Amino acid sequence: MRLKSILKMTRLSVNINKIATIRNSRGGNMPDVEKAAVDCEKFGAEGITVHPRPDQRHIRYSDVREIKPLISTELNIEGNPIPAFMDLVKEVRPAQVTLVPDAEDAITSNAGWNTVRNRGFLTEVCSEFRSCGIRTSIFIDPVPAMAEGAAACGCDRVELYTEAYASGYQYGREAAIAPYIAAAEAARACGLGLNAGHDLNLVNLEYFIRSIPWTDEVSIGHAIICDALYMGLEKTIKAYLSKIKIF
C-alpha cells in the first residue's frame, strides 16, 4: 500500500492576524480582513486561524464574529482562555479552539502550556468546549511529557510550538526536528491529533512534514503574509500547499 493512501494529508490553516495588524495601523477597512479570509479559502487554504487578543491590536472579537459565517472551511480560534475569550468561542462555535498561554501584553506566542502543572484548569476548559462540540487543541513545547499531560486534560489535539525548530533548522535540521518527532510520537501514542505552528515557512516546512507525516494541520500566518508581499497571496498559498502535499 502506498504511503499516500494510509496517511491523512496535512491541512494548511492560514493565520490572518497580520492582515488585521496592517488594517489597524491606519484605521478604516484596508485591507479588508473578512475578504482576506474568504480569498485565502478560495486560493486553497483548508482552514482560517485567528488569534484575538484582549487589546485587539490585530484580530478583533468583532472580526471573529464576522468571519465565521463567511467561510466554509474550518475556523480555528487561538487564545488564552480568559473569560471573555471563552465566551467568544462558545458564541461563535468554531471547528477548533487552540489554547495558548500567552500573556495579554505578549508580542507573539512564546511558550507552550505546562500541561502537568495546569492540568486542573485545562481539564475544565477542555470539558467546557467539548460540551459545545468544539475540537480542542493545546499549544505545547516539544516535550513528550507535555503531550502526555495534554492527553490527561481531555483535549483532542496538541499543537507543537515550532519556533525552536525554525530557528535551529539552518544549523542542523536533524537535531532541530528530533524533539518534535519525540513529542509527536508521544502525542500519537496517547491518541491525540497533531497540529504545528510558529515560524514555519517555505524553507523549513517540507522537511517538518516529511519527518512527521501524520501532522494533521499546520497554522501559518506571518511567513505567508511576508511572502505574499512579493508573490501575491494566491501564489503564496499554493506554494505552501505544495510543501505539505508531498506524498
Residues assigned a catalytic role: 51, 78, 198
Q: What angle do CA 52, 58, 60 make, to 5 degrees?
A: 50
Secondary structure of residue 9 in the 3-state scheme = coil
List the one residue out of 223, 218, 222 whose CA is nearest residue 208: 218
Q: Strands 193-197, 135-140: parallel, antiparallel or unpaired by DSSP?
A: unpaired
**Amino acid at the residue 132:** C
154 conformational bin, left if phi > 0, alpha if psi -120 to 50, beta if neither = left
Which residues, in sequence order, are CB contacts of 78 under 8 Å at separation 6+? 15, 49, 50, 51, 97, 98, 100, 109, 139, 219
Distance CA 171, CA 159 (A): 24
Q: Which residues are paired to 137 by β-bridges?
A: 98, 157
Location of C-alpha cell 472580526: 63
